[in-house]
Amino acid sequence: MALTPGTKLGPYEILSPLGAGGMGEVYRARDTRLDRTVAIKILPSHLSSNAELNARFEREARAVSSLNHPHICHLYDVGTQDGTAFLVMEYLDGETLADRVRKGPMPLKQALEYGIQIAQALVIAHRAGILHRDLKPQNVMLTASGAKLLDFGLAKTAPALGISSAVSGMTPSTPTMTIAELSSPAQPLTRQGTVVGTFQYMAPETLQACEADERSDIFSLGCVLYEMVTGRRAFDGKSQLSVMTGILEKDPEPVSQIAPAAPAALDHLVKSCLEKNPQERIQTAQDVKLQLKWIAEGGGLSAKVFAAPKRPWLWWAVAGMALLVTAGTTAAYMREASRPDPVMRMSILPPEGTSFVITVPASGPAVISPDGTRVAFTTRDTKGKIQLYVRTLSSLTPQALSGTEDAMYPFWSADSHDIGFFAVGKLKRISANGGPVQIVCDATNGRGGAWNKDGVILFTPSAQGPMLRVPANGGKPEPASKLDESHAENSHRWPRFLPDQKHFLFWGRNASGTQQQDLYVGELGSLQATLIMQGVTTASYDSGYLLFMREQTLLAQPFDAKRMELSGEATPIAEHVAVNGATAVPEFSTSENGILVYQTGEANGAWDLLWFGRDGKPGGAVAQQDRWYYPALSPEPRLSGTSHRVCSLVPGTPPKFPTCSGGSGF
């Protein structure tokens, strides 16, 4: 019902109408007790007349009133009069975000500032266990003091992530619209008697009648960020049905294609907020806020300096100083045209109380998933426990994968769903989301693997010998390469599949005095290989370029993946990239969509070889610092009756003690 000026609702006197929407009418009013201006929202009859809904709404409104934050419009009071339920809120002087974006895209700095404030408001609400459920530009007021999130009228208590409605005790919102209603012109207003919220900003799980949680608000926040920067809705159409279809099945045009000045970091963040599957979406408003602050402070705003032909590369450089666990980032350039493209830089630190394992033979350099969304890496804790972790680039929290103790050299499946790794003499696999570990086959001392779209795994089972192939579901390994004995080759390792999923790059090492290192291309079904270049270890292919290392410089050179030919000159991409001196594997990885992950620093360090008594006390150094591996006691006792002769291999030199045999540690 419409209220006229002078009408009183308890101590509140109506002054003038402010607006109306699908969930009610809003008026400017005066609190006669405190002599202050307030905003009053009259709830529609379909809410006010339902005793159960009205009681629940009142309980939840009281909960929302406890939210006290500079960027949340405060709810002062809730009441009823003559059967009319109403909310009393802080009166805000300004314009809605919806009114602002109708004028066009916002300046980037301003959009980031408001985005941070809205995200912070959601952080406070979610920490209080409250969902907004109707976040949209109409419910954000821009004032002199910044953005204010308002209209928590649809708010509800948030269930725990992943808890179903049956468990949480909450009732799912069920769509009741008919096809005729869905085909009517789309309006950015909440429809009465339908799913609560506004279709253009509603998460897919809400449209599908699933229980909402805080990730549903994050999807809506992604829609709002998209609209602020581009001036367009992320999902729009001529009818509610077309909008709903877009949300459920389509991805919006990337932010950077509409607003070229937007950094790639923001593009990635918005995309992560708009993931259809809540599990793949950025998980918390706190993460969104932190990433927005990082972008606003300059992260990702520098000019891009590497672009591949036909499409730009997005370099997301993830760097960690080897062993020191400090972070740094870098990028270098190639250019397709005169206009530079944006680059996004990010650093990843290991989980608290751990360090990255990037040196010694049993290590696990960070590897990016083919789809560029997650990084897998191994860490060692203070007790020496080594474990495999996965971190989504849209989250700040890595996930430990149970059952992956002593994992080394992880590699991704082509679909980015699973991870292969070596541990305890076996080649194993595990879902990137966690779960039981499966043994694929024996691999005594693995040296790298690759997993193609046909479910074939290439791997090197030990420090010496050729590569093998095996079905990802397990089976008997078969030869995949043949050592060239005429060149004294003793190891093929670090395979990487090329786009056709049949040819693959790998590194060959010989045991001659020069320790020659060669890069080859092999093919499934053939033991023959083609020499590509000499003097390098492993390489990766991306967008027409071969990425490889010389010394500690990462280079890119044009490569025809059909003709298997290099052309042009190599261009530096990054400096001081770490190389594991124990196994000659460089610490970098690339995805299919141009994301580069690498670690900086020196991984060629030396360390002490020390004696320890049975009581655990140190007994002095055995020898000077060097790269010592696999120490072992000699069976030859001294006069004292003890055994303490040590055998250890240093790459490129004979064993330290001639009485020892071996040499497989490298």
Task: Report the catalytic residues.
Answer: 134
> Dmax over Cα atoms in the chain, in whole Å?
108
Q: Tell me the one-letter amino acid at 3.
A: L
Strands 316-319 and 344-347: parallel
64 three-class SS: helix
Q: Position of tokens 């929407």?
A: 21
Q: Which residue, among 375, 439, 380, 387, has the nearest Cα to 411 in the 3D structure?
A: 375
Please give the DSSP secondary-structure letter assigned to residue 159: P
How buried is 625 (Cβ within 10 angstroms: 0-12 exposed, 13-18 middle, 19+ buried)? exposed
The number of beta carbons lying within 10 Å of the beta carbon of residue 640 is: 7
| E strands, 297-447, in order | 307-308, 311-312, 316-319, 344-347, 354-356, 367-368, 374-381, 386-392, 399-400, 408-412, 418-423, 426-431, 438-442
Q: Which residues contact 487 (CB under 8 A, 6 or more apart)?
A: 510, 512, 516
The number of beta carbons lying within 10 Å of the beta carbon of residue 276 is: 15
- The torsion of the CA quartet 348, 351, 352, 356, rounded to 10 degrees, works out to -80
Q: Tell me the one-letter amino acid at 177.
A: M
Residue 543 to residues 76, 148, 232, 472, 546, Cα–Cα distance (Å): 57, 44, 31, 26, 9
Q: What are phi and psi for residue 243, nearest 5 degrees? A: -65, -45
Cβ distance 320 to 349 under 8 Å? yes
CA distance 662 to 495: 25
